[in-house]
A and B are shown apart, each in its own frame.
Chain A
């Protein structure tokens, strides 16, 4: 028998688990092998050392156990007798985070809807006969500007603008904005053009989710433009009066300027 197998058998023999048929061979080997004899003695000594050094319980173990046992039983009895007692706490503890999460998700969804999916068309700032740009002075501008007058005496640009506002422009972008681009560039706000499109209202085509300052700036610009047109109209009226006076002076007949309309 080899020592490795003999030591395995020795371990089992120490526990009384060695089959009887292996006992005889083991004894023969151990009687002849000094190392295995030492091994067996060491196993026995190890067991004795473990037994001799058994840890001692603390002195107050019993009453500590009694205390913990009482607590465990009270807790268990409480759970059994009053099953509803702890439930509100549990529910409240679970309800608050759930409510917070649901509220956050709801707010996030509303914001996302506002930013990305909200209405892109707003109230029209300029329409056919829109109040902002349909002052009597502009309405008084003839559909055909003063062609009989020397063109050099008039500023063409306001007349063109007035014509645009009156609906004769072909969707020309306002203030030099590129065609199809608009004041706000690309993205959510897609463009701004003023005028009419076949009788339909022209509106600001952009999202409403921001850039309100852009609206205010546009209104300011339109008001300034309106004032500029009124000044031009006033100058034209003065020029008409001057020409009429000249005609009266030379005895010619009156000229229908439409100023009285």
Chain B
């Protein structure tokens, strides 16, 4: 790498990573374009969780979501020279991810449709029943169960509403960025997000009335806040 060979003060990986922590995404990708591979590590560190979360909520299969997340990051690296700062870097990354997800979902829809005998009948308006959630109070199972219920509710939102909804709610992209990612008009983005929110609310309504569930939600949020406050071991 260029930096380490030229007796750069940032040749220590730890110091380099600490230095890169405050660099903007757009500057990081420029560094990648210039051949500084450590900058790509920082990009991966910043985006892998967000990408996986978005893709996982779209495709629902963990292995497929992992594969598509990796594919997105690989494309970011391989085609880094094609990025121009006419849009935010996050917009570019999520455009790649959205296109990959759409292609995959299109391929899926062309396959012969199979129906699992173990799943409940697919009905958009059937609310998620959180009754089983109270049975096991262990932290991991509690989180997994809640995640499963939310994933099922999310999956029932039509794809054309789900993409802008997740980009806004989970990834917190602005309306303009979502417009760039999806290619939709701004008014369409706004109305689709609104419709998705209304549908999502209907789907999770039973959960919202469940006092114990809300208490568990607060516990999870408190734990997450505590984890964010503790510096990670590799820093």
Binary contact track B166-192/A, C-beta < 8 Å → 1, others 0: 001110000100000000000000100
CB–CB B66/A76 < 8 A: no
Which of A47-55, A107-115, A239-247, A251-259 is the contact stretch? A47-55
Contact A11/B78 with A39-B201, A53-B150 known, Cβ cut-off 8 Å: no
B44 CB within 8 Å of chain A:
yes
CB–CB B44/A62 < 8 A: yes
Query: Complex formed: what's the CA distance from A7 to B196 in Å?
Result: 13
B207 CB within 8 Å of chain A:
yes
Query: Complex formed: what's the CA distance from A11 to B69 in Å?
Result: 29
Which of A63-71, A201-209, A223-231 is the contact stretch? A63-71
Query: Complex formed: what's the CA distance from A43 to B204 in Å?
Result: 10
B200 CB within 8 Å of chain A:
yes
Query: Complex formed: what's the CA distance from A12 to B65 in Å?
Result: 30
Q: Which of A11, A52, A65 contacts B44 (CB 8 A)?
A: A65
CB–CB A53/B151 < 8 A: yes
Residues of B within 8 A of A64 (CB): 66, 70
B147 CB within 8 Å of chain A:
yes
A45 CB within 8 Å of chain B:
yes
Query: Complex formed: what's the CA distance from A17 to B205 in Å?
Result: 25
CB–CB B146/A55 < 8 A: no
Query: Complex formed: what's the CA distance from A250 to B153 in Å?
Result: 134
Q: Which of B49, B56, B169 contacts A47 (CB 8 A)?
A: B169
The CB with the most chain A CB atoms within 10 A, among B146, B194, B207, B214, is that of B194
CB–CB B200/A11 < 8 A: no
Residues of B within 8 A of A39 (CB): 201
CB distance from A48 to the nearest CB of B (A): 6
Query: Complex formed: what's the CA distance from A162 to B201 in Å?
Result: 109
CB distance from A15 to the nearest CB of B (A): 7
A46 CB within 8 Å of chain B:
yes
B126 CB within 8 Å of chain A:
no
Size of chain B's interface in residues, with CB distance under 8 A? 43
Binary contact track A9-31/B, C-beta < 8 Å → 1, others 0: 00110010100000000000000
A8 CB within 8 Å of chain B:
yes
A82 CB within 8 Å of chain B:
no
Contact A50/B197 with A17-B190, A65-B73 known, Cβ cut-off 8 Å: no
Residues of A within 8 A of B220 (CB): 52-53
CB–CB B151/A42 < 8 A: no
A72 CB within 8 Å of chain B:
yes
Residues of B within 8 A of A8 (CB): 194
CB–CB A48/B217 < 8 A: yes
Query: Complex formed: what's the CA distance from A41 to B53 in Å?
Result: 24
CB–CB A61/B66 < 8 A: yes
Residue of B nearest to A41 (CB): B208
CB–CB A58/B62 < 8 A: yes
B224 CB within 8 Å of chain A:
yes
Residue of A nearest to B207 (CB): A49
Query: Complex formed: what's the CA distance from A55 to B150 in Å?
Result: 11
Query: Complex formed: what's the CA distance from A73 to B74 in Å?
Result: 9
A123 CB within 8 Å of chain B:
no
Which are the 7 A-B pairs with shortest beta-carbon distances? A53-B147, A55-B56, A11-B194, A53-B150, A52-B220, A42-B201, A54-B53
Q: List 19 A–B pairs whose Cβ atoms lie within 8 Å, in order of A's numbering.
A: A11-B190, A17-B175, A42-B204, A45-B204, A45-B208, A46-B169, A46-B208, A49-B204, A49-B217, A55-B57, A57-B69, A61-B66, A61-B70, A64-B70, A65-B44, A65-B70, A69-B74, A72-B78, A73-B78
